[in-house]
Amino acid sequence: MSVLPGDGIGLEAAEKRFGFQLEFRHYIWASCTCFQEHGTMLPPDWKKLLQACDAIYFGAGMMATLLLFRREFDQYINLRPCCLFPGVTSPLANREGEPIDFITVRENTEGEYSSVGGCIFEGTDGETVIQDTVFTRTDVDRVLRYAFELARSITVEKYHIDILCAHFVQRPRTFDVVVGSNLLGDILSNLGPPCTGTIGIAPSASLNPSSSQGDPDQDAKPVHGSAPDIAGQGITNPVGKVWSGQMMLEWLGEKEATQALMGAIEKVLQEGTNAQLKGESDLLTPDMGGKGTTEALGRAIEEEALEIKFEEGVGKKIITANIEPTESPSHSLPSMQIFQSRIIIKRDITEKAKASHGYTK
């Protein structure tokens, strides 16, 4: 897979090293390009096509697609981890040595994103727009329960959103699991990552932990959007997408691959920052103050994922694979298309209990 060089490569590397197989189905619909060409975002059989797969790997999406998938497949949980990696510079001053490591659980199917409402008297002085917020007991309960089960230790603090934003900036290290409504969770998940250096590294996974058979129960994508201001320049930070892929593998139960990818991201970011501080390398992308490219940073993570050693007793033996770069037609896609294209992943691995992955503990 090589939709966005680096991210796809990361998963491919993990696949080869850890001996599982993913079948990728590349689609370019659900993009502006598709809309411009065909006047529609989605083909008539989009649902059937997605239902034939276990997971969706998204670049960046729009309301018309992302929100539809989340609702149609009842992916009511949206997980958005936020982590200040060792060595990486936070824009917050005087935070030496203070870890930031928390996860936002965003409600993902209703709340402020209900789509209940409309517009009357359009184009007149009396134009009126009504948008309703919907909270159902069933949904609020299941999202809160999920967040509580995720929390490592339970001390509950409740905040209004305004002061919570202040705490995110002033004492981000004190958070572990943060649960919020659809809109507020979205906003918080865009506030946390910049405190850890850049939103470009932030991943997300929309999940349906109680999925019935047949539907894709996860949709992984970076938190960031399609960034039209830098699209096409090859300088998007690939980490958000690689990390999203890592979350996807975790959900699929591929523990070692998950660890290897996470370790690789950590190491490359740390070494990249060190080298940058010494003026020795420009591996990091511009959002991290470097002059690096998506491709180079992605490849560095790939190489690391193939070689990284596990802590004693955690991983398996170290294999140094030698992967030839694969030819893929997606290399030649204009980057806007690449950015918005979606990869559907069909699981072809031995059945592994979902309960074994970290996020459901």
> What does the binding site for Mn ion look like in residue numbers (CB under 5 A)?
186
CB neighbours of 53 closer than 8 A, spacing ≥ 6? Answer: 25, 216, 344, 345, 346
Residue with smaller CB distance to ligand IPM, 231 or 300: 231
Nearest to 300 by CA among 339, 257, 276, 271: 271
Tell me which of ligand IPM, Mn ion, none is bound by residue 66, counting a contact when its beta carbon lies within the kind-specific cut-off of 5 to 8 angstroms.
ligand IPM
Q: Minimal CB distance to Mn ion: which residue?
A: 186
Residue with smaller CB distance to ligand IPM, 41 or 257: 41
Residue with smaller CB distance to ligand IPM, 28 or 183: 183
Tell me which of Mn ion, ligand IPM, none is bound by residue 235, counting a contact when its beta carbon lies within the kind-specific cut-off of 5 to 8 angstroms.
none
Which two three-digit tokens encode residue 81? 């981890």
Residue with smaller CB distance to ligand IPM, 83 or 260: 83
Tell me which of ligand IPM, Mn ion, none is bound by residue 240, counting a contact when its beta carbon lies within the kind-specific cut-off of 5 to 8 angstroms.
none
Look-up: residue for tokens 């960034």? 227
Residue type present at position 76: Y
Kindly state the smallest distance separating residue 190's Cβ from ligand IPM, in Å. Answer: 7
Tell me which of ligand IPM, Mn ion, none is bound by residue 161, counting a contact when its beta carbon lies within the kind-specific cut-off of 5 to 8 angstroms.
none
Q: Which residues bind ligand IPM (CB under 6 A)?
A: 61-63, 66-67, 186, 223, 225
Counting other chains too, the contacts that 334-338 makes at CB distance below 8 Å and 24 or more residues apart are 334/33, 334/232, 335/231, 335/232, 335/233, 335/234, 336/31, 336/32, 336/33, 336/226, 336/228, 336/231, 336/232, 337/28, 337/31, 337/33, 338/3, 338/4, 338/59
**CA–CA separation, 216 and 208 (whole Å):** 8
Kindly state the smallest distance separating residue 186's Cβ from ligand IPM, in Å. Answer: 4
Kindly state the smallest distance separating residue 17's Cβ from ligand IPM, in Å. Answer: 30
Kindly state the smallest distance separating residue 153's Cβ from Mn ion, in Å. Answer: 29
Which two three-digit tokens encode residue 166? 């202040």
Tell me which of ligand IPM, Mn ion, none is bound by residue 62, counting a contact when its beta carbon lies within the kind-specific cut-off of 5 to 8 angstroms.
ligand IPM
Tell me which of Mn ion, ligand IPM, none is bound by residue 63, counting a contact when its beta carbon lies within the kind-specific cut-off of 5 to 8 angstroms.
ligand IPM
Give DSSP secondary structure letters for 168-180.
HHH-GGG-SEEEE
**CA–CA separation, 318 and 112 (whole Å):** 48
**CA–CA separation, 136 and 144 (whole Å):** 12
Residue with smaller CB distance to ligand IPM, 52 or 63: 63
Residue with smaller CB distance to ligand IPM, 59 or 61: 61
